[in-house]
Structure 1
């Protein structure tokens, strides 16, 4: 299209194009910019010859107007100005070429047109190629970035921009250090990248390395980065190409592979890998250690080289059937080492399958069970046998008695249990030492054993306590009793001859309790042993060195006691225990603390007083369970009081049996942690008798609990093992004067002097004093005259259920 308002110039151009012999031009002539715009929108042209002096437009604005209509069509400017500066402005405005009217011929014109069309075509192709290349680069899941010789970003693909969250950021022309200001989260990554850029330029060759790039979710990525430096012919820096691939998963896979390889090489379990035909292709060091076959000896072999012959053909048929069907087999195998030793192993064999579900290989993981089985045998020995004598222990004896009870009831015959205690053994043990005592016990066991039948069972139940079970005696009660007494006397007679230990003759006698069984259909083994124990106690009470039968009358009191013990055990589990509290007040009568007490609400007997069940509990493990219940209840109460803003110290009694347990400190810590109670409000009352035992253990436990803030009080002070030495050693905070001193203190000068002395001692040792059993005002006045003493007793209130105590606390 020719845009020219001068007909002469237009005809001249048309004439030049018409005479061209090689190329035929189709020329559309318009005289205004407006008409040119209309024709450009409606038709397709290859080039525009544009005059810059038109009726409706002049100068460079004419080029710009054409460009707005068509941004890619080549434009050749025709002008009468022979001005290089103006020509450059026209080209910058969008023209492809510049011709001065009157200064060009047909060859120059045709050459300019051909050049403009070719250049436009080339630019179009380059643009398309660039678009395709950018599309390709943007589609890559890799970092692609181009930088100039100063390290400024020129181009980056979408992956790179998204990785560093540079979407919408004008990144071009900026260095990494400048981009770090935009994305502070990636600051270290940007600065590290800039440093490695410098290394690439200095190396003057492609460099490769790994770089860590953080992610907002906390999962850092690892990239394999390649940097290619580019240089100008003069050696100056031209640019840098950066390409990076995310190798995070590959690194993790390598780590897993390295870990698996490390486990394979270092695990204590043997591992063998076979191909689909069960030929060994890999073994680990543990395989060699267990089987004795080296790796070279095992590779290529079938696992049958380990076959011991212990399992028959049917076993292996079942083995392969399960392995093929389920893909795994687990169980015990008996295999043979290279040296011929047969050993048990626990094996897991797994099938490795391909994507089609076909078995391609097998992996066997196994452990040598030899030591495990030896340990089990040793454990069984410890569980059922006395380690000193090798005789049956209490657990095995009770089990055999239980079985004998069943058979005796079914077959209607009698059996007998003899409980034997060596008289004066404790004196010999203390005088001669434990080694001599142990030797004596083994000698006694040997003498007893030779006198018994093969079916009889001899056991050692305790230090010097033996037991004998005669499982099959006569069907007549009288005949069975005579036979039992005969055996008992035979055993006692065997001890009349001295026993020589280390050249010294030892003389011992024995007391024996005898019980016939069964006595009743509901009788248990523990009942039988308890009855034998009562008979033994009666024999020792009558002077020892004799045998005594259990009689029904002898057991009535014990049965009643046992019944109460059984019910108490059920009471602890059945929520029949109740928490009671008794107030502790200061000289003004204000409540400053309380003592927690336990009561038993029996469903039939009603409220059972503590004197009826606490001694029973203290004689067994039940006192520990009661302590635990009380500790939990008190800690919950303390936490409640703290949360309600009325914190108060509460004292709870701790039995020596519970305190002496290894888990005592952990138990207390557990209750405090579960309840959320403040340890500084908990007071543990212990008795002086606790100090008679292992004083070092007492010190350690008290110190640990005291460090938590727990206070200790010595209950019933002055009635037992009173010693200023242990008071000085232990972290004690409080002395509790027994009510037996308070009862007559107001009228008895001796008791008053004792109380005054205890208060004075406590004052000098900076200990708090609590007086129990304050029942009269005279007693209270006397205590107040001695100084700061906390009162507890009926004068201020009896022990009351926790709910009522809380109501009174509200009222107070």
Structure 2
């Protein structure tokens, strides 16, 4: 049944056109509202972005929090700016999670007052207080905390807004100003200037020291005190440090009103304003003329070593003469312990003198650990130390036992690792002992005896202790004699090169090693074992190394010019040579002077290049390799080699040490080592050569293991130039 006919006649139904018009108006209104909402949203977003930007740029930490209960402590952090991480060490997330963080990190001296202040904040509505807060790294920082409370209609806390500022530097400045005020009337001169060093105030002591009355300097620049004892660079460095670090302490030379120049020791502190900018300088200084005079007198005496602070040779000799007199007078016996560090020169050459000095200081400290108060430790120079043990023993035997006990304790202490440049290193001492009184020997002679005993320790393998006897003196005399004769040998051209062939498995001469010989006028032809050890104890080894390289290059050029050639000429290069900063330039000079082809050179180096400064050695090796020079690693497997360095450095050849070859028939371990070396060399595309081959049986085993290059007396001893050429020609025919 239709109902619409029953509706009142007055009710009119809009036409479709009217409905469309109404709908259009509603749509327009809706679009307008949407646009207004979008514009307001954009404005709000821009406002929020500006607020966030301001918060990020603010030097203060901005935060808001609300109490968990009616009391303000503990509280829950609702928002805290990122700056909090810099000031407290804790991230905003940590502050959000830990409700008790603030109270737990307060300084014990400030905690109670700070907590009471926070509790009063609810009634007061706002608060500014200062306290110390423990940073996450454990350091206490001074904080200025400003808070304001937002209440509801019932005066209940809705939120608390606050700002944190780190005022540690301000507190430091405040403390320094208080200190300056305290010291202003002290016996030291006090001068306060502005940031441009214009004098604002001085105390009475200033006038007494400088001769200037206050009215004569106030308003003038502090340069009025400047003398000519420091140059402009010194003043520039002084001001740069003062502005960079905010403080300076040191010695300066000033000029008095009457023109007199005098030394002062001054402490200058920069004072900063609330913005952290330097506003003033406070200088406190005193005249140290008397002190300087005393220092100069002490320096003139020169009784102590400046590096280790131990007595030096002069003071030691003085005390030794006194001890000798007392020992002879009372019939007592004592001892002298001479100590020298093993391989110290290698450390100096490789790591530098600063590290060497650091080691010497540590050694000096350790030497004193096991001495009695009546004993005297001293540094003679370099890495040589001496200990004078007081003569208080009734017999030579007792003095000997006591000296040995103390020497062993020192040896054990010095054998412990040293941390140098952050790296643990090991060094050992060679120790010599002489007893006194010994006949009519004076102090210098006793030191010489102990020195001779020390060299005996070195010849026994280092890190050992030896007592002086007459045989040692004869050995020392021999060493001095050989060193003198070596210097003469250079002047008279007594050195020669001998050559030992290096053969392939098919009997062909692949290369040759150059070896030095000494044509001694009385003793005949000497092998290196007769003189190299002595040369290494002096600067002669550097001269010998350079002579060998130049002579080898001259011979190489002569052979090539005559048409006599082989794959390479091997020359031994010491680690000391390789670590010389100008070694590459030395080699280039020799090559240029001799005309030798670097591609025909093979440098043999030992594994002790891996002891220290490997990167520097590696750089030198690579530079020489770029010239065309090849490298052989000698004595492989006996020392310090690292497979990592072996992989990184351009080695062409590995040399199996003669000690592995000597026992290859009887020692299974040596066989295994040889197999490993050969296999590793093959994998790394390196040649392998075995040195010290003396029998056919050794050769057969090496052939069986895959070695294809050999050197040793089984084939040929080192030969003169003429004999070597004849030997090779015979092989070729």
TM-score, structure 1 as length reference: 0.40
Could you tell me the TM-score, scaled by structure 2's length? Answer: 0.43
- Which protein is bigger by CA-based radius of gyration? 1
Q: Which has the higher contact order (CA 8 A, sep 6+)?
A: 2
